[in-house]
């Protein structure tokens, strides 16, 4: 039986870093890379070789996810890793987001993560790992990214609870909670926004965050937090009232 890793959002940012890391794992026969843009996926395959199989899937559409599930069913692989990295953000006032954009963000960041997890679990066994990309943004409510931070709180809670349920099957679920990372996400998130985030402190490299996340998953940890800056923010969010955390955020961003 083929052992595979499925990585959503594999064509860019931290998703692509996971592709690079898992290519080094000899027991993984194939990496199934998911994103929408075919050209970017083709470039990924060209660069990293035949072990990478690409699938153009719009994860905001449940029908597209269910079509992908049919491929899993036909090939019947052993899924060693599922990494739900696909996601996007809009950092702006609530007035600048339409209902359609809001629901689409929730579909990609939350619904797709849960659907991909549920569809993959039957093909997983002892020693399999699910890694879901949450964020430092999940630690507290964040004005001017209210929907994005809420989607990431969903991912964190979902992952940690699922981790407990899957313990008896030997499958771990890790909520990966990075702070700012040098990827395309935040540059795209602020395009066209009138009032938006402008202080991206504690920026880290996606490769370092991915390497730590993989180590944490192998230790069956339910959360992965990279770097002193994010660890401090996590601790502060645990001990300070959320109203104060929001005030600090507003001051930091000069809102
Ligand atoms: N960058 C940060 O500062 C940061 C911090 C904390 C958490 N995160 C989280 O990390 C994850 C990865 O973000 P990143 O920074 O690596 O961003 P990125 O470089 O923009 O990569 C996003 C990936 O998701 C794919 N994607 C987006 N929408 C999709 C859709 N509807 N269907 C299928 N694939 C889709 C993109 O490919 P296509 O556009 O071709 O579909 C791309 O491969 C996200 O969940 C994000 O929330 C990022």
Between strands 172-176 and 223-224, the pairing is parallel
CA nearest ligand 1 atom 9, residue: 133
The C-alpha R_g of the chain, in whole angstroms, comes to: 18
Q: Quick check: 205 and 116 in contact, CB under 8 A?
A: no
Count Cα atoms within 13 angstroms, Cβ side, for 93.
Answer: 5
pLDDT of residue 25: 97
Taking the centre of ligand 1 as the mean of its atom positions, its distance from the CA of residue 8, in whole angstroms, is 8
Taking the centre of ligand 1 as the mean of its atom positions, its distance from the CA of residue 184, in whole angstroms, is 8
pLDDT of residue 76: 98
Q: Quick check: 207 and 17 in contact, CB under 8 A?
A: yes
- pTM of the predicted model, to two decimals? 0.98
Which of 8, 10, 13, 38, when mutated, tests ligand 1's pocket best, judged by the most ligand atoms within 8 Å of its CB? 13
Reduced DSSP (H G I as helix, E B as strand, rest coil) percent helix, strand, coil of the chain, to 5? 50, 15, 35
Angle at 153 (CA atoms; ends 120, 146), nearest 5 degrees: 125
**Residues flanking ligand 1, CB < 6 Å:** 8-9, 11-15, 35-37, 40, 57-60, 85-89, 108, 133, 135, 178, 180-181, 183-186, 206
For the CA of 60, the nearest atom of ligand 1 = 31
Q: What CATH number is given to the structural domain containing 132?
A: 3.40.50.720
Q: pLDDT (tens digit, 0 to 9) for every residue of the chain, 255 residues total? A: 899 999 999 999 999 999 999 999 999 999 999 999 999 999 999 999 999 999 999 999 999 999 999 999 999 999 999 999 999 999 999 999 999 999 999 999 999 999 999 999 999 999 999 999 999 999 999 999 999 999 999 999 999 999 999 999 999 999 999 999 999 999 999 999 999 999 999 999 999 999 999 999 999 999 999 999 999 999 999 999 999 999 999 999 999
Taking the centre of ligand 1 as the mean of its atom positions, its distance from the CA of residue 1, in whole angstroms, is 30
**Torsion sign (Cα): 183, 185, 190, 196:** negative
How far apart CA 96 and CA 146 sit, in angstroms, is 12
Which of 60, 87, 105, 199, when mutated, tests ligand 1's pocket best, judged by the most ligand atoms within 8 Å of its CB? 87
Taking the centre of ligand 1 as the mean of its atom positions, its distance from the CA of residue 87, in whole angstroms, is 4
**Among the residues of the chain, which ranges form H helices?**
13-23, 38-48, 62-75, 99-106, 112-120, 146-166, 184-189, 206-218, 228-239, 242-252
pLDDT of residue 212: 98
Residue-number span of the structural domain to which 82 is assigned: 3-252
| Residue count (the chain) | 255
Number of domains into which the chain is organized: 1
For the CA of 136, the nearest atom of ligand 1 = 6
pLDDT of residue 119: 98
């Amino acid at each position: 039986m083929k052992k595979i890793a499925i990585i959503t959002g594999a064509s860019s940012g931290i998703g692509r870093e996971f592709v690079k890391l898992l290519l080094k794992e000899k027991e993984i026969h194939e990496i199934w890379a998911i994103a929408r843009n075919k050209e970017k996926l083709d470039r990924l395959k060209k660069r990293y070789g035949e072990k990478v199989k690409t699938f153009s899937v719009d994860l905001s559409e449940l029908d597209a996810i269910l079509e992908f599930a049919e491929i899993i069913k036909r090939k019947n692989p052993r899924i060693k890793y599922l990494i739900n990295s696909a996601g996007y953000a809009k950092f702006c006032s609530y007035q600048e987001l339409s209902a359609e954009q809001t629901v689409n963000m929730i579909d990609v960041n939350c619904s797709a993560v849960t659907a991909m997890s549920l569809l993959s679990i039957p093909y997983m066994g002892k020693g399999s790992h699910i890694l879901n990309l949450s964020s430092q943004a999940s630690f507290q409510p964040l004005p001017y990214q209210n929907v994005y931070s809420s989607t990431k709180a969903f991912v964190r809670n979902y992952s940690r609870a699922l981790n407990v349920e899957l313990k008896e099957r030997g499958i771990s679920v890790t909520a990966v909670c990075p702070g700012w990372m040098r990827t395309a996400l935040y540059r795209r998130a602020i395009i066209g926004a009138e009032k938006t985030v402008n202080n991206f402190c504690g920026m880290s490299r996606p490769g370092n965050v991915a390497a730590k996340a993989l180590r944490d998953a192998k230790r069956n940890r339910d959360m992965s937090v990279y770097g002193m800056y994010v660890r401090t923010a996590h601790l502060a969010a645990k001990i300070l009232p959320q109203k104060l955390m929001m005030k600090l955020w507003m001051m930091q961003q000069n809102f």
